[in-house]
């Protein structure tokens, strides 16, 4: 995949706080501590309080999958309903990653 650098990538976009998965119909939070900057219509104090609550909620152990790697293992996930965070543990091993990005629907 050729990555095209664009000034548009720095623009702020509006999207729903909760999205519906187009295949399963399940609701999921659509916020991310790295990219979500605010909830429209709220004061900075309200944004801080609500977003902190949501981030604390979604990172509870009950919602976190911790993967134990084994040789020749392949892992796939659906970014529409999974937040991931690599924690390392690759020292002394060859780490090969292939990323596939599919065009999809607009979150609703």
For residue 6, pLDDT over 90 is answered with no
Q: Which of 87, 76, 85 is nearest to 33 (CA)?
A: 85
For residue 38, CA distances in Å to 50, 90, 97 come to 10, 35, 32
Quote the CA–CA distance of 94 and 63 in Å, as a whole number: 29
Q: What percent of the chain has pLDDT over 90?
A: 31
For residue 18, pLDDT over 70 is answered with yes
Which is higher by pLDDT, 106 or 26? 26
> What SS3 string covers the chain?
CCCCCCHHHHCCCCCCCEEECCCCCCEEECCCCCCCCCCCCCCHHHHHHHHHHHHHHHCCHHHCCCCCCCCCCCCCCCCCCCCCCCCCCCCCCCCCCCCCCCCCCCCC
- The model's pTM is 0.74
pLDDT bucket at 51, cuts 50 / 70 / 90:
very high
pLDDT bucket at 1, cuts 50 / 70 / 90:
low
Cβ neighbors of 1 (< 8 A, separation 6 or more) are 99, 100, 101
For residue 71, pLDDT over 90 is answered with no
């Amino acid at each position: 995949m050729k990555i095209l650098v664009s000034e548009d990538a720095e623009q702020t976009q509006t999207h729903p706080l909760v999205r519906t998965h187009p295949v399963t119909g399940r609701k999921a939070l659509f916020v991310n501590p790295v990219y979500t900057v605010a909830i429209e219509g709220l004061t900075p104090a309200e944004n801080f309080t609500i977003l902190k609550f949501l981030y604390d909620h979604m990172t509870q152990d009950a919602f976190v999958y911790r993967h134990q790697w084994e040789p020749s293992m392949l892992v796939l996930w659906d970014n529409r309903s999974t937040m991931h965070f690599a924690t390392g543990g690759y020292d002394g091993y060859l780490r090969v990653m292939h990323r596939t990005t599919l065009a999809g629907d607009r979150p609703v």
